[in-house]
Amino acid sequence: MNNLAGILIKNFPKQVNLEDGTVITLRPLLKDDEQAFLAYFQSLEPGELTRLKEEVTDPKVIEFWIENLDYDIMLPLIALHGDRIIGAASLQFNLSAWTRHKGEVNLSTDPQYRAKGLGTLLIQNLEEIAAQLGLEQLTAEIPPELDKAFYLFEKLGFEKAAVLQGFVMDKTGHESDIVLMLKSLAPAESEFSHT
């Protein structure tokens, strides 16, 4: 992962346009973002939080993430409109010898920006970073009830690999399935794109 620092310094922060022309900034999460990151998650409706693995509205969870920020383990990329965080995506690296060629992506976006291509921009940027680092495959885990997320990942070239039945349990004890999606990455040939 030693190329990662160079990629981040060279390419971020960067301004990009959403489909409606809104200018946003993409950059890695920083230690100074703790309060804004917590405010972002606390602003989401409960239904928006269903596919997130941790209790992201708990200040202690965000504090732990920020204190343990290590881009060589997980790279969180955030989108800002002005000073407000409007989306977050992460690329988690697998440190196991068997799966070191894979990365897992996660995505969360503010619903007001969702139909404007925000999720696509975040995932595409993580894909480009993953390819430049030599990763060969990305995975995403999506609950079936989040059909819009499923179709977004499908549009981006992820394919349904398996349905893991009863894989997750919510706070009430209700179990639900997870759709495991995979995408093979071609080696990066071109310079990091500036959409």
Q: Where are the alpha helices (DSSP H) in the chain?
A: 4-11, 34-43, 59-67, 111-114, 118-132, 147-155
4-136 in CATH: which number? Answer: 3.40.630.30
Q: What is the mean pLDDT of residues 4-20?
A: 92
Reading the block at residue 88, the tokens are 């977050």
Q: 134-190, pLDDT tens digit by residue?
A: 999 999 998 766 677 888 999 999 999 998 887 776 667 777 788 899 999 976 554
101 pLDDT band (50/70/90 cuts)?
A: confident
- Residue 135 sits at the vertex; the CA angle it makes with 129 and 141, to the nearest 5 degrees, is 85
Crossing angle for the helix pair 147-155 and 118-132, nearest 10 degrees? 50
Confidence at residue 191, expressed as pLDDT on a 0 to 100 scale:
47
Q: Which has the minimum average pLDDT: 64-78, 114-128, 159-173?
A: 159-173
The three-state secondary structure class of 135 is coil
- For residue 169, the model assigns a pLDDT of 67
Which DSSP letter does residue 187 get?
A: P
Q: Which of 75-79, 108-112, 148-152 has the lowest mean pLDDT?
A: 148-152
Domain boundaries, the chain: 4-136
Residue 161 and residue 172: Cα distance in Å, rounded?
28
